Amino acid sequence: MKKLDDIDLRILTLLYNDADINNKDLAAKIGIAPSTCLERVKRLKLSGIIKGSFIEVNLKSIGGNIEAIAAIRLQPYSEYIVNKLRDDLLKLPEIISLYHMGGNYDYYIHMSVRDSEHLRQFVFQAITSRDEVQTVETSLVFEHSRSTVLPNFDEDE
């Protein structure tokens, strides 16, 4: 992969903080022409460095009053089972994100539900009802925050 230059890193930093910024404002903040900025963003997308743009929704405004994390252990464990669980769960509207893990649990599932009864039914119907799910441990999320600071992995600093 081609090493990113300072302009690419500045583009990524600004987009990481605000993916909704328009190209003209992005270019102005970096000090380059809008056409140059647009081409660089396109190149970052085509090369897979920018994988997508997302909005963050206030889940309470759409009825998601509770967030929870379920830690899941699978048995038997195989690539097919792991992928099938992922594919099935990602279709469900309660799922915010999935983390396939190493360690004590195979998956951590971040979900949002209306209330405690919705959580209970969702865990029973979507998770524990699956033959491959050996253990489920569910914890409530009191606060979920996302950093707006792009990680810096530059070896020179």
In the chain, count of helices (H) and strands (E)?
A: 5, 4
The answer to whether 2 and 47 are in contact (CB under 8 A) is yes
- Coil vs helix vs strand at 44: helix
What digits encode the pLDDT tens for the residues 20-60? 999 999 999 999 999 999 999 999 999 999 999 888 899 99
Tokens representing 26 are 């992005």
Q: What angle do CA 98, 3, 12 make, to 5 degrees?
A: 55
Distance of alpha carbon 20 from alpha carbon 7, whole angstroms: 18
The pTM assigned to this predicted structure is 0.82
The DSSP 8-state label assigned to residue 2 in this structure reads P
Q: What is the CA radius of gyration of the chain?
A: 20
What digits encode the pLDDT tens for the residues 73-131? 999 999 999 999 999 999 999 999 999 999 999 999 999 999 999 999 999 999 999 99
Domains in the chain (CATH in brackets) are 6-46 (1.10.10.10), 59-141 (3.30.70.920)
